[in-house]
Amino acid sequence: MMEKREFANTGIMVSAIGLGCMGMSSSYGERNDEESIKTLQRSLELGIDFWDTSDIYGNGDNEKLISKVLRENRNRVFIATKVGFRSGNDTDDGVARQGNYLDGRPEHIKKAVSACLDRLGVECIDLLYLHRVDPNVPVEDSIKAMAKFVEQGKVKYLGISECTLDDLNRAHKIHPISAVQSEYSLVERTVEKNGILQRTKEINAVFVPFAPLGRGLITNKKHMQHLQPTDFRYNIPRYNGEHRINNENLANELDLYAKENFNATVSQLAIAWVLAQQDNIIPIPGTKRRIYLEENVKSIDIHLSERHLKDINAILDKYPNVGERYAARQKGFLKK
């Protein structure tokens, strides 16, 4: 049975494992809307009720896809979406830009949230994130614009994604930040070092790790050798050259450890490891296929002792050359 975790000291209990929906509509090769809808439906059967999307995923198509299941199950789903990214063709001046870009201006936030509500087909969004902090707009201005929707009863809680510690603190002074999202996994632990993970505990926020499986880095070794140009991981350093070799060796050893100690897959071990770090963590492994959803759910049955955690850290220490998690353009969206 799926465990529950409290959402941000609110008394609201949500599934300890959520569902990241991005890959259903973008970034990971061809879409299969029929299978994605079945995956959403199956997630509810398995007790997974914490769903994550964004207005930029598929340029709104992901929210529309989710709405096909959400509308009939509104009381069963805690829905989170994000604003602050725009596609290159979505401009106010009529001049197309190359690729996605950030826009945290209040006037854009206002239009974007209203559009999210329409696409999702809901009267109120449970959790609204600022997807990235726009370096050209004070984070306070973006959060104030989002907070107006809370005042209007159209959003319940606010969150922020991929932020610096300073931006988190500044945002929290304007309006309580209930959730912080960033990448966190066996191969990506920056939030342990930059203070973000600890700060979420201090402000009673949940920490929501995306890519807890390392974007397939340690769970799908064969596929990693044959990425297609349409897959956004194609140019990321971690999946190429010496880094890929390092990570294949790491994946092999973690896979063996999972089998020998838990009769489990490395995916299940990876999610269990994330869950074991803090009790305010709700990972959102993404998938568009039921077979992987059902595999991921079983991670809830793995309980890691202190010995297990030490063993895993020892394995990670043997393979430090993991590589950068983003290519140059993607890194440009992260505020330094």
Q: How many CB atoms lie within 10 A of CB 330?
A: 15
What band does 245 get if pLDDT is binned at 50, 70 and 90? Answer: confident
Locate all alpha helices (DSSP H) within the chain, ordered by sequence: 33-45, 61-70, 106-120, 139-151, 165-174, 190-193, 196-202, 221-224, 241-262, 266-275, 290-297, 306-318, 328-331
Crossing angle of the two packed helices 266-275 and 241-262, in degrees rounded to 10:
90
204-227 tens-digit pLDDT: 999 999 999 987 777 765 555 665
Give yes or no: 319 in active site: no
Q: Buried (b) or exposed (e) across 279-296, using 16+ Cβ within 10 A? A: ebbbbbbbbbbbebbebb
Structure tokens at 195: 């203070």
Q: What is the DSSP string of 292-316?
A: HHHHHHGGGG----HHHHHHHHHHH
Annotated catalytic residue within 28, 57, 184, 319: 57
Three-class DSSP labels, 239-286: HCHHHHHHHHHHHHHHHHHHHHHHCCCHHHHHHHHHHCCCCCECCCCE
Q: Please give the Cα distance from 137 to 282 (Å, whole number).
A: 29
Give the residue carrying structure tokens 């994605």: 36
Phi-psi region of 145 (alpha: psi -120 to 50; beta: other; left: phi over 0): alpha
263-307 tens-digit pLDDT: 999 999 999 999 999 999 999 999 999 999 999 999 999 999 999
What band does 248 get if pLDDT is binned at 50, 70 and 90? Answer: confident
CA 23 to chain centre: 11
Crossing angle of the two packed helices 106-120 and 139-151, in degrees rounded to 10:
40
Give the residue carrying structure tokens 């044959």: 226
**pLDDT attached to residue 66:** 98
Q: Please give the Cα distance from 324 to 219 (Å, whole number).
A: 18
CA-to-CA separations, 34 to 115, 119, 123, in angstroms, rounded: 24, 18, 26
What band does 326 get if pLDDT is binned at 50, 70 and 90? Answer: low
Are the CB atoms for 284 and 19 separated by under 8 Å? yes
The residue among 148, 136, 151, 138 whose CA lies nearest residue 332 is 136
Which pTM does this prediction carry? 0.91
Over residues 73-97, the mean pLDDT reads 89
DSSP one-letter code for 14: E
Fold of 4-213+277-301: TIM Barrel (3.20.20)
